[in-house]
Structure 1
Amino acid sequence: MRGLLLAGLLLGASAGWAETVSRGNGAVLRVLDKLTGDLQDVELADGDAAPMGRLQVELAECRYPEGNPSGDAYAFVTVRDTTGEPVFSGWMIASSPALNALDHPRYDVWVIRCKTS
């Protein structure tokens, strides 16, 4: 199913479909500790990193539909474990967190929205 969704997105882009986007200056990310059930929202500026439990989360950039900052945000995120090795690096999409998700036994991380101020 994931392959079909990605193929559809690529096909749409190759057929001339493109949405105009704006770049935020940061993002709000949500972290779920699956063992304790704790949720934590963290605001990161573009280029910043923050520890979240046993992970280090880095935000490269966040984008959103032009003129709609509360719209479907997508952010380029790198997540590292305690050894410093990346366990995830890629675009996370607010409306489809399972499309490109962090696969970690203890934590879930997803983007909520971009920051614009």
Structure 2
Amino acid sequence: MRKETEILRPKYYLDKRGHDLFWHFEHGYYPAVVAISFCYLNMLKYEKRAGRKTQDPSEDLKKARTYYDEYVKLLKKREKDEIHDQGLERVLDCSDLKERGKTYLKRLDRIEEDIKSGRAKQ
């Protein structure tokens, strides 16, 4: 029988309220199909990476299992209509991509400056 999967949720992934990305997925902060796809692709990434980045594959395989567990949880929540795809159109819309790109890249620059200057909140 398979052991219970260890949930790898480091503190550095928590927001100001103590919530990680999985919590945001489970509470509908992102379109369901985006959250489910994110978990699915991370499952594949860690599966493929296992034993290649490091000799010991166990950490990557734990991560793959963690993403698999979240993937299943999200599929079930979507099936029960507890999460939805509202906002998907905005995620996929490229009509203002140039402007959104500028805004996003400025945000990344601001984050980098805040971290380097010590202004970033830990």
Shorter-chain TM-score tier: under 0.3
Higher helix share: 2
TM-score, normalised to structure 2, is 0.23
Larger Rg: 2
Higher strand proportion, which one? Answer: 1
TM-score scaled by structure 1?
Answer: 0.23
